[in-house]
Amino acid sequence: MDTKTKLIFAAETLFDRHGFTATGMDRLTQAAGMSSRTLYKHAGSKTALIAAVLKERHRRFQQRLDVDNMEALFNELEEWVHTEGARGCLFLRAHGETGGDTAEITDVVLAHKATLYEKIQEIVFIETGSKRHSELSEQILVLYEGATAAAVYRGAEAIASARAAASALIQQARS
């Protein structure tokens, strides 16, 4: 594993577990097993490191969005939670901790969320045959995001409930 990949992996683990603000550069250097000089050489700044971590997480998450139906979309979310853990959305946590005031981070968060919404719109179109379901897409996005948040304390049951609600909404839109 190259130095930058090692740094991003260590940073993601710490940010996800402890938060962005609570994770200092000293803790990052220790976890990555590198000097602060090496860390800054490869990260630039903590803001740039947060953005790099989010971009890597987005890349991995995108692989799970290669689906064409709602059932599979929620199945992939459930698998993500089993694999990555259920601590809520790291993108929304980054946005919350920075207050949306750090453009470099906000841009990555908004791009990630736009991609998710576009995927939901695509699936709604596939499953209903109509592009006139923007409200349905919005409802399913809220179910998806809510399931991600509720999984923190309810586990996979939250995702199963959201999947069932999304399926019911799709069925209703078909009739």
The pLDDT of residue 39: 87
pLDDT digits (tens, 9 = 90+) for 155-175: 999 999 999 999 999 999 988
In this predicted structure, the answer to whether residue 16 has a pLDDT above a threshold of 80 is yes
Query: Do 62 and 141 have their domain in common?
Result: yes
Query: Do 35 and 62 have their domain in common?
Result: no
Is the distance from CB of 8 to CB of 56 less than 8 angstroms?
yes
Query: Do 80 and 118 have their domain in common?
Result: yes
More confident residue, 49 or 130: 49
Query: Do 81 and 152 have their domain in common?
Result: yes
Let me know if residue 67 belongs to a domain.
yes
> The domain that contains 153 carries what CATH number?
1.10.357.10
In this predicted structure, the answer to whether residue 95 has a pLDDT above a threshold of 80 is yes
- In this prediction, residues 105-127 reach a mean pLDDT of 96
Query: Do 26 and 106 have their domain in common?
Result: no
Query: Do 38 and 64 have their domain in common?
Result: no
> The domain that contains 36 carries what CATH number?
1.10.10.60
> How many domains, the chain?
2
Query: Do 65 and 30 have their domain in common?
Result: no
105 falls in which pLDDT band (50, 70, 90)?
Answer: very high
The pLDDT of residue 151: 97
Query: Do 39 and 67 have their domain in common?
Result: no
Among all chains, which residue has been given the structure tokens 């740094």?
A: 7
Please count the CA atoms within 13 angstroms of the CA of 51 that sit on its side-chain side: 17
Among all chains, which residue has been given the structure tokens 């995108």?
A: 62
In this predicted structure, the answer to whether residue 37 has a pLDDT above a threshold of 80 is yes
In this predicted structure, the answer to whether residue 13 has a pLDDT above a threshold of 80 is yes
Percent pLDDT > 90 in the chain is 86
Residue-number span of the structural domain to which 23 is assigned: 1-44
The pLDDT of residue 100: 87
SS3 20: coil
Query: Do 23 and 88 have their domain in common?
Result: no
Query: Do 118 and 64 have their domain in common?
Result: yes
Residue from 73, 74, 65 nearest 162 by CA: 74
